């Protein structure tokens, strides 16, 4: 491709992300409804009001796990409690997401694809805006992208350690938002392995230890939640929040085709991503095979999110790195 490849390309993608995501974070006030709440939970962590189970205005907050808000709190403890600081935590997650995407692109599409995919992702206005916003969905997107990169690294190199770390990263996605952060990376990789002929044998045995590690990390926090606030906290977290989003009781209910808005959210690279989808289905060369994983990633998530009753365009944020990969292949 004539672009910087390997570690240099990944580093340049991360640097580009930092230059675009980190400046002028305090130029606008925190925006309702999510930012003031998540930033306040982080401030409570910085003040020492909680360490494992989030607290909001002195009361237990059981709707979300602690990983993202805790990271915002750590940064506020170090840098102060101005409004830009929790947004800096979000922006750093964005830098990590772009770096992980660049690694994925190098592995799937070849040398030089990392900086290209990272630049494409940063060229999506919705991604650029949301990764400068203090919400737990930012943590979910970053940890899921890292999980995908590590799981693929383990598959490509036949090493167990990257797969184990990928499982822990998927557990981190669950601890940033909800349990689907653990499930989606393994679902996408499983569908991809079922599609591919090479490496199909025994793929689940390679991925199972990593999945169990991620599940153990998530379960450990659930046990802590129960120990700190009792069984009603578990009911509220697993059934009062996440389960309701799957049913008609969701606060943000929407129709089955709402997520066709992805075509707009991914502008201006929607057409390039469509070309990547075509290549994944039709081509039998290395490019076509490399694009099948992001296609499985995007389609599995959009379909699953469309089946859920609770819908917000923000939930599409973890899908956009997969769209950027398809676009990188499409061009």
Q: For residue 1, is it within any domain?
A: no
Range of the structural domain that residue 146 is part of: 6-330
Chain segment 159-172, per-residue pLDDT in tens:
899 999 999 999 99
DSSP secondary structure letter of residue 316: G
Residue 249 has pLDDT above 60, yes or no: no
- On whether the CB atoms of residues 329 and 291 are closer than 8 A, the answer is yes
Chain segment 11-20, per-residue pLDDT in tens:
999 999 999 9
- Range with lowest mean pLDDT among 92-106, 108-122, 219-233, 252-266: 252-266
Whether the bond between 33 and the residue before it is cis, its omega within 30 degrees of 0, is yes
What angle do the packed helices 320-330 and 84-109 form, to 10 degrees? Answer: 40
Residue 196 has pLDDT above 90, yes or no: no
Counting the structural domains of the chain, the total is 1
CA distances in angstroms from 262 to 300, 301, 313, listed in the order given: 14, 12, 8
pTM (two decimals): 0.95
205 CB neighbour count, 10 Å cutoff: 8
Encoded tokens for 88: 């800096």
């Amino acid at each position: 491709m004539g672009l910087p490849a390997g570690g240099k390309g990944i580093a340049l993608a991360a640097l580009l992300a930092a230059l675009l995501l980190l400046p002028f974070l305090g130029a606008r006030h925190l925006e309702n409804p999510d930012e003031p709440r998540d930033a306040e939970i982080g401030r409570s962590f910085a003040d020492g009001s909680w360490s494992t189970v989030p607290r909001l205005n002195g009361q237990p907050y059981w709707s979300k796990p602690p990983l993202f808000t805790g990271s915002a709190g750590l940064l506020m403890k170090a840098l102060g409690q101005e409004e830009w600081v929790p947004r800096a935590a979000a922006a750093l997650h964005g830098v990590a997401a772009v770096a992980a995407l660049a690694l994925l692109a190098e592995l799937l599409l070849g040398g030089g694809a990392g900086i290209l995919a990272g630049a494409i992702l940063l060229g999506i206005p919705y991604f650029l805006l949301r990764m400068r916003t203090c919400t737990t969905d930012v943590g979910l997107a970053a940890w899921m992208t890292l999980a995908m990169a590590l799981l693929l690294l383990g598959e490509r190199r036949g090493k167990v350690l990257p797969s184990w770390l990928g499982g822990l990263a998927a557990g981190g996605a669950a601890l940033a938002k909800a349990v689907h952060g653990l499930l989606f990376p393994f679902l996408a990789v499983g569908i991809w392995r079922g599609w591919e002929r090479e490496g199909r044998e025994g793929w689940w045995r390679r991925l199972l230890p990593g999945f169990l590690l991620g599940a153990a990390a998530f379960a450990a926090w659930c046990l802590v939640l129960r120990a700190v606030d009792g069984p009603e906290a578990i009911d509220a977290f697993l059934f009062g929040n996440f389960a309701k989003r799957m049913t008609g009781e969701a606060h943000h209910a929407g129709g089955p085709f709402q997520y066709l808005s992805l075509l707009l959210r991914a502008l201006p690279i929607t057409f390039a991503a469509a070309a990547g989808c075509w290549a994944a289905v039709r081509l039998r060369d290395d490019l076509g095979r490399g694009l099948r994983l992001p296609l499985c990633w995007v389609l599995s998530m959009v379909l699953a999110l469309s089946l859920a009753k609770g819908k917000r365009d923000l939930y599409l944020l973890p899908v956009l790195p997969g769209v950027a990969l398809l676009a990188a292949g499409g061009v």
